[in-house]
Amino acid sequence: MKINFDGNFCIISELEEFDPRDIFTCGQAFRWYEEDDGSFTFITHGRVANAKKVGDEILLRGVDRTSFDEIFYDYFDLDRDYKRVIEELSKDDVMKSATEYGKGIRILNQEKFETIISFIISANNQIPRIKKSIEKISEMYGEFLGEDENRKYFSFPSAEKLSKAKPEDLREFARVGFRDKRIVDTANLINNGIINIDEIEKMNLEDARSALQVLPGVGPKVADCILLFAFDRKESFPVDVWIKRVMEELYLKEVTPKSKIAVRGREVFGKNAGFANQYLFYYGRENKLGR
């Protein structure tokens, strides 16, 4: 991997395992827009940036040397050797196909509170609608970050700010449905310090899972997503309907309860379970496996 800077641009080259489309559309993140030129504009850490794949290079606009070092290097998980992850996972034909299909995926290291609320919204919901709800919540309660010819940008609100939101406003304007109260109650529990994110970060995987599930709207699947996408627990294995279908069809060969699949996923893929999960989810959903 080579990194070059040109003012407000960062150019990454000699890195095969980085495709903005795979990274943003694989289901892990919601604060992004696909532009007409095929690039992806995204918001994180109070910043707006744009990622575009041009030939073998990745162009990051809105990323200078300082913000790259402080934010984006970690956000894009650039310290990790995904070639090696893929090698370690490619022990069978299923994973060979899945990693080949999603070879540009990287698991982002996202902001914790935003990820918690985002995945509470994701429950029994679909990506376009989740994106819209989060966008509206940011517009209503976040900070204005700037605008371009396409749209205005807002940061995701703090727990303090969101704890003061009214459930009926979230329902009426952000279209979150029955998740309205869960969102405000969770923001309150975190804002009050009743649930301490820094404490959860220090726990082992099982304790962290249980601690997160104290939050209303956080069950086993959402807890695993939060751990995988914001707490750097790359060994966690969220089981949604797609993972259930793919695992049943390709690995287990029989109908299996979600709770058992979560355990089996971690047994089969070990420390790489989270990566396997993302490759399988993306591969399975895009190809409608098991449907």
Residue 242 binds DNA (CB under 7 A): yes
Structure tokens given for 162: 């969101």
The minimum distance between CB 163 and DNA, in angstroms, equals 17
Structure tokens given for 39: 């690039």
* Residue 140 · residue 174 · CB < 8 Å: yes
* Residue 245 · residue 284 · CB < 8 Å: yes
Binding mask 178-217 for DNA (x = CB under 7 A): x---x------------------------------x-xxx
The minimum distance between CB 132 and DNA, in angstroms, equals 7
The minimum distance between CB 125 and DNA, in angstroms, equals 5
Q: Which stretch binds DNA (CB under 7 A): 108-116, 126-134, 229-237, 266-274?
A: 126-134
Q: Which stretch binds DNA (CB under 7 A): 11-19, 91-99, 202-210, 240-248?
A: 240-248
* 249-to-183, 220, 231, 246, 280 alpha-carbon distances in Å: 35, 22, 30, 5, 12
Residue 62 binds DNA (CB under 7 A): no
Q: Which of 108, 134, 222, 276 binds DNA (CB under 7 A)?
A: 222
- DSSP states along 49-97: EEEEEETTEEEEET--HHHIIIIIHHHTTTTS-HHHHHHHHTTSHHHHH
Q: Which stretch binds DNA (CB under 7 A): 12-20, 40-48, 108-116, 118-126?
A: 118-126
Q: What is the CA radius of gyration of the chain?
A: 19
In the chain, at which residue ranges do the beta strands (DSSP E only) sit? 2-6, 9-13, 32-34, 40-44, 47-54, 57-61, 144-147, 152-154
Question: How many residues touch DNA (CB under 7 A)?
Answer: 29
Residues in touch with DNA (CB under 7 A):
122-126, 128-129, 171, 175-178, 182, 213, 215-223, 240-242, 257, 259, 291
